[in-house]
């Protein structure tokens, strides 16, 4: 309803109605160490071009609209990271007391910063980043019914998006390559299974509450080791022969998210219970963000964040490959070895603490910086992250992200990315 | 909610009207009573606008004359309850990297506003704290509290004097914020005597030094009743920075309803 097309909107597409916006970016990732595994590009620099245009048209006083957001990344090295996607292609209809969105869309649920637990509708586009905030377009019919007390959301999700994974040449992967062609599904219709979800949200004074339930193919895969070829697997040929296949199970997931908003403090909680992948699994994240406004009389704000993460499922270590006998092991023995099939998706956050700070300069260039670390309080493993951005001139934005992995136990599922510390610089032009 | 809107509080107005009738204006009136009376009259003249939409442009200039532009659209729904504030939604269009970011505010009089921010890249709605009232709005010389609806009960008042402001005879009223977390110790407001429109505001920081000067001009009348300034020029006297804010395309009575001011409508705001 907000006043139709803004005055500055120009007909960029000639006579095509609607409004075009979006961004085009160049991006460089520099890994601090050389690659560890065969097949990976040895040297540190990876370059990308990224585009995400957006076309929007509304009519009927804003009660009907279509939105189209394609996405493309071209990367210099890993063909699996070069990909295109339709982030959004949907039709919106707003009626009296209801709203319907049908098509490909993106949905976010939740409140915490260090982990996104209740957020289950949209699949991770995991080759984009390690923070779980890039999502693939999800086909859906989404009905929204606002009531006096809160809002009810119902989702029918026809079609499942498989998570993206780095390829053989890519960094940020285990020693054993992912093989998405070998993906397995519990649902009989595999990736054509229809999933369902419902969510209730409400605001009570300073509290915002969300309750959700999902039934369908879980977005988090567990993994199973598969073998290519018929010959025995030896220590020498293991990395060329073994593959990590994602396994997608049918799950019931119930979630709660809660935030209290005070003067300077935000209190946050997210918790899920998941059934259908091994034993019943409970995962929770809870914490706070406290903001000091107008630091030292300037316009800058500093927020201090801390969150505790708990996961009832301990990710088992995959057995090392050194122990393979010289004569090798038959493929069948590997594929049926229960130690080589995970019961549930591995989680790096069993009992972890996130601590960080957010600096917002509130300047003309909208400079922001978020830095922090997730530390496992039992084994001491650490994941450091820095995200900073600043507008340059009127239409450009410079973003710098740093991700460091440190102190993982040698055989743990995540130890393989310990040499994949990187800094990423993105320069984007918005239009 | 509009910038330096006329205040409103029916209860106060009724009380003042009765008090005035009983006592008569000729009787000795304290400067505080006279200040309140002026503001209540200004508020009374701006009651009943219902809803509006408009577009806003800000040009930010620093000491060296470098400029930067902001564009946004705003819609507002009047709250008929005099004990509570209005609802507003702002959608940012420019700079382009924040395009589609939207801010929903339920303003209150003395308690903190409720605020939600929509981040389009993540499709995430975040409830945010509104206590940072003195913070800069989009890097401009306007603070969030300069945008909030100027309800009568947010301040106490004192009439200082009558004097000319430009060509108009004006009341000069000092007001003292009563809500928490204000960045100001006081403001001096020039209100013209003919139409009760704010012409000028001087803002004093918490150390009581002159901080900013606002000049409001290009007033146009809507629905034969409601005056709106279309040009607001704020100069920071301490830094030399300035912001010129201009309104365009005001539309009243657009049929906006409560359902256009929810976290759901925030997600589809464009």
- CATH code, B241: 2.50.20.10
Question: Residue B104: inside a domain, yes or no?
Answer: no
Q: Rounded mean pLDDT of A220-234? A: 91
Rounded to the nearest angstrom, the minimum Cα separation between B100 and chain A is 10
Among A105-114, A238-247, A332-341, B19-28, top mean pLDDT goes to: A105-114
- pLDDT of A8 reads 45
Asked if residue A5 has pLDDT above 50, the reply is no
**Residues of chain A contacting B55 with CB distance shorter than 8 Å:** 3, 6-7
How confident is residue A7, by pLDDT bands cut at 50, 70 and 90? very low
Bond into B95 cis (ω within 30):
yes
- pLDDT of A108 reads 97
Closest CB to B96 among A21, A110, A151: A21
**Does residue A332 or residue A92 have the better pLDDT?**
A92
Whether A391 and B73 lie within 8 Å, measured CB to CB: no
Is residue A241 a contact partner of residue A292, using CB atoms and an 8 Å limit? Answer: no
- pLDDT of B18 reads 53
pLDDT (tens digit per residue) in B212-261: 999 999 999 999 999 999 999 999 999 999 999 999 999 999 999 998 99
Question: Residue A312: inside a domain, yes or no?
Answer: yes
Closest CB to B96 among A293, A363, A430: A430
**Residues of chain A contacting B136 with CB distance shorter than 8 Å:** 299, 362
pLDDT (tens digit per residue) in B36-87: 999 999 999 999 999 999 999 999 999 999 999 999 999 999 998 878 889 9
Asked if residue A11 has pLDDT above 80, the reply is no
Whether B75 and A394 lie within 8 Å, measured CB to CB: no
Question: Residue A309: inside a domain, yes or no?
Answer: yes
* pTM confidence score: 0.90
CATH number of the domain that A334 lies in?
Answer: 2.40.160
Tell me how far apart the alpha carbons of residues A207 and A261 are, in angstroms, rounded to a whole number: 7
How confident is residue B17, by pLDDT bands cut at 50, 70 and 90? low
pLDDT (tens digit per residue) in A339-350: 888 888 887 778
Asked if residue A10 has pLDDT above 70, the reply is no
- pLDDT of B5 reads 43
Asked if residue A338 has pLDDT above 90, the reply is no
Which residues are B217's β-sheet partners? B231
Phi-psi region of A328 (alpha: psi -120 to 50; beta: other; left: phi over 0): left
Is residue B141 a contact partner of residue B184, using CB atoms and an 8 Å limit? Answer: no
Question: Residue B84: inside a domain, yes or no?
Answer: no
- pLDDT of B25 reads 52
Decide if B67 touches A, using CB distance below 8 A: no
Tell me the count of A-B CB pairs closer than 8 A: 126
With pLDDT > 90 as the criterion, what percentage of chain A qualifies?
71
Helices B31-44 and B10-23 cross at an angle (nearest 10°) of 130
Asked if residue B2 has pLDDT above 50, the reply is no
Among A222-226, A301-305, B147-151, B153-157, name the one with the lowest average pLDDT. Answer: B147-151
**Does residue B23 or residue B268 have the better pLDDT?**
B268
pLDDT (tens digit per residue) in A135-172: 999 999 999 999 989 999 999 999 999 999 999 999 99
- pLDDT of A418 reads 84
Closest CB to A362 among B97, B135, B270: B135
Q: Rounded mean pLDDT of B190-213? A: 97
Closest CB to A6 among B73, B124, B265: B73
The residue written with tokens 């308690």 in the block is B111
Instruction: Work out the burial of residue B65: count CB atoms within 10 Å of its CB; fewer than 13 is exposed, 13-18 middle, 19 or more buried.
Output: exposed
- pLDDT of B15 reads 53
Q: Rounded mean pLDDT of A276-300? A: 91
Whether B94 and A8 lie within 8 Å, measured CB to CB: yes
Among A324-333, B9-18, B40-49, name the one with the lowest average pLDDT. Answer: B9-18
Decide if B161 touches A, using CB distance below 8 A: no
Asked if residue A428 has pLDDT above 50, the reply is yes
Decide if B95 touches A, using CB distance below 8 A: yes
Asked if residue A1 has pLDDT above 50, the reply is no
Whether A3 and B251 lie within 8 Å, measured CB to CB: yes
Asked if residue B177 has pLDDT above 50, the reply is yes
Q: Rounded mean pLDDT of A6-20? A: 62
How confident is residue A38, by pLDDT bands cut at 50, 70 and 90? confident
Asked if residue B3 has pLDDT above 60, the reply is no
Asked if residue A2 has pLDDT above 60, the reply is no
**Residues of chain A contacting B62 with CB distance shorter than 8 Å:** 364
Question: What does DSSP say about strands A242-248 and A177-178: parallel, antiparallel, or unpaired?
Answer: parallel
- pLDDT of B1 reads 39
Count of structural domains within chain B: 1
* Chain B residue closest in CA terms to A152: B264
Q: Name the residue range of residue B144's domain.
A: 10-72+133-252
Is residue A359 a contact partner of residue A350, using CB atoms and an 8 Å limit? Answer: no
Whether B270 and A133 lie within 8 Å, measured CB to CB: no
Closest CB to B75 among A1, A97, A99: A1
Question: Residue B2: inside a domain, yes or no?
Answer: no
Whether B254 and A428 lie within 8 Å, measured CB to CB: no
**Residues of chain B contacting A23 with CB distance shorter than 8 Å:** 96-97
With pLDDT > 90 as the criterion, what percentage of chain B qualifies?
76
- pLDDT of B148 reads 78
pLDDT (tens digit per residue) in B80-127: 887 888 999 999 999 999 999 999 999 998 888 999 999 999 999 999
Count of structural domains within chain A: 1
B32-B37-B42-B45 Cα dihedral, nearest 10 degrees: 160
Q: Which two tokens stand for residue A411?
A: 């055989």
Decide if B110 touches A, using CB distance below 8 A: no
Decide if B80 touches A, using CB distance below 8 A: no
Question: Residue A125: inside a domain, yes or no?
Answer: yes
Asked if residue A414 has pLDDT above 80, the reply is no
Q: Name the residue range of residue A423's domain.
A: 33-430
**Residues of chain B contacting A99 with CB distance shorter than 8 Å:** 264, 268
Whether B248 and A299 lie within 8 Å, measured CB to CB: no
Tell me how far apart the alpha carbons of residues A257 and A112 are, in angstroms, rounded to a whole number: 8
Whether B251 and A62 lie within 8 Å, measured CB to CB: no
Instruction: Work out the burial of residue A92: count CB atoms within 10 Å of its CB; fewer than 13 is exposed, 13-18 middle, 19 or more buried.
Output: buried
Closest CB to A8 among B68, B93, B262: B93
* Chain B residue closest in CA terms to A66: B268
Q: Please enumerate in sequence order all residues whose Cβ is within 8 A of that of B175, keeping only pairs 6 or more positions apart, or say none.
A: B35, B39, B155, B156, B157, B158, B186, B187, B189
- pLDDT of B165 reads 92
Question: Residue A243: inside a domain, yes or no?
Answer: yes
Closest CB to B132 among A58, A293, A395: A293
How confident is residue A417, by pLDDT bands cut at 50, 70 and 90? confident
Q: Average pLDDT over chain A, rounded to whole? A: 91
With pLDDT > 70 as the criterion, what percentage of chain A qualifies?
93
Residue A48 sits at the vertex; the CA angle it makes with A42 and A54, to the nearest 5 degrees, is: 155
Rounded to the nearest angstrom, the minimum Cα separation between A370 and chain B is 16
Q: Which two tokens stand for residue B125?
A: 């709605």
């Amino acid at each position: 309803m907000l006043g139709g097309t803004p005055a500055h909107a120009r007909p960029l597409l000639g006579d095509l109605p609607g409004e075009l916006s979006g961004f085009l970016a160049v991006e460089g990732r520099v890994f601090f160490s050389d690659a560890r595994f065969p097949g990976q590009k040895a040297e540190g620099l990876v370059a990308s071009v990224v585009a995400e245009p957006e076309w929007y048209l509304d009519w009927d006083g804003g009660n009907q609209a279509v939105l189209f957001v394609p996405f493309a990344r071209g990367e210099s090295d890993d063909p699996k990271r070069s990909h295109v996607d339709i982030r959004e292609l949907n039709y919106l209809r707003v009626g009296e007391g209801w709203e319907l969105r049908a098509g490909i869309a993106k949905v976010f649920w939740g409140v915490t910063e260090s982990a996104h637990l209740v957020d289950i509708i949209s699949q991770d586009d995991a080759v984009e980043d390690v923070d779980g905030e890039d999502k693939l377009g999800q086909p859906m019919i989404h009905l929204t019914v606002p009531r006096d007390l809160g809002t009810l959301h119902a989702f029918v999700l026809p079609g499942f998006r498989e998570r993206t994974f780095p390829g053989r040449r890519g960094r940020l992967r285990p020693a054993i390559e992912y093989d998405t062609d070998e993906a397995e599904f519990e649902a009989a219709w595999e990736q054509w299974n229809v999933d369902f979800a419902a969510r209730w949200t409400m605001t009570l004074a300073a509290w915002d509450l969300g309750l959700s339930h999902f039934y369908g193919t879980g977005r988090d895969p567990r993994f199973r080791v598969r073998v290519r070829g018929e010959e025995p697997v030896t220590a020498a040929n293991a990395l060329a022969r073994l593959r990590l296949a994602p396994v997608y199970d049918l799950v019931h997931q119930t979630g709660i998210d809660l935030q209290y908003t005070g003067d300077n403090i935000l209190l946050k909680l997210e918790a899920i219970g998941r059934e259908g992948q091994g034993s019943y699994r409970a995962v929770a994240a809870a914490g706070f963000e406290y903001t000091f406004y107008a630091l030292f009389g300037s316009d800058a704000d500093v927020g201090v964040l801390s969150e505790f993460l708990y996961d009832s499922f301990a990710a088992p270590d995959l057995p090392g490959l050194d122990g393979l006998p010289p004569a090798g092991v038959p493929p069948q023995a590997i594929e049926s070895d229960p130690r080589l099939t995970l019961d549930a998706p591995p989680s790096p956050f069993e009992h972890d603490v996130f601590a960080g700070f957010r600096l917002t300069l509130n300047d003309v260039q909208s400079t922001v910086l978020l830095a922090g670390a997730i530390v496992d309080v039992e084994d001491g493993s650490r994941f450091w992250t820095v995200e900073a951005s600043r507008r340059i001139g009127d239409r450009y934005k410079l973003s710098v992200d740093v991700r460091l992995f440190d102190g993982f136990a040698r055989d743990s599922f995540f130890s393989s990315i310990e040499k994949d510390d990187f800094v990423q610089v993105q320069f984007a032009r918005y239009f | 909610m509009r910038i330096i809107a006329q205040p409103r509080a029916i209860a106060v107005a009724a009380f003042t009207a009765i008090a005035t009738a009983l006592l008569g204006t000729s009787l000795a009136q304290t400067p505080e009573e006279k200040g309140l009376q002026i503001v209540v009259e200004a508020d009374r003249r701006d009651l009943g606008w219902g809803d509006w939409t408009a577009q806003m442009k800000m040009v930010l200039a620093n000491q060296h004359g470098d400029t930067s532009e902001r564009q946004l659209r705003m819609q507002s729904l009047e709250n008929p309850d005099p004990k509570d504030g209005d609802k507003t939604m702002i959608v940012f269009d420019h700079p382009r990297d924040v395009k589609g970011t939207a801010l929903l505010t339920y303003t209150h009089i003395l308690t903190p506003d409720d605020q939600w921010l929509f981040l389009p890249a993540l499709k995430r709605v975040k409830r945010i704290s509104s206590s940072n009232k003195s913070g800069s709005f989009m890097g401009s010389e306007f603070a969030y509290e300069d945008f909030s609806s100027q309800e009568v009960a947010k301040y106490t008042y004192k009439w200082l004097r009558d004097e000319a402001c430009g060509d108009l005879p004006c009341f000069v009223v000092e007001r003292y914020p009563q809500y928490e977390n204000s960045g100001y110790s006081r403001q001096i407001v020039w209100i013209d005597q003919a139409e009760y429109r704010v012409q000028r505001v001087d803002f004093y920081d918490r150390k009581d030094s002159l901080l900013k000067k606002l000049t409001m001009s290009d007033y146009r009348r809507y629905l034969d009743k409601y005056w709106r300034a279309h040009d607001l020029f704020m100069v920071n006297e301490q830094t030399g920075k300035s912001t010129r804010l201009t309104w365009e395309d005001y539309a009243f009575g657009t049929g906006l309803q409560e359902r256009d001011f929810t976290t759901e409508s925030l997600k589809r705001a464009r």
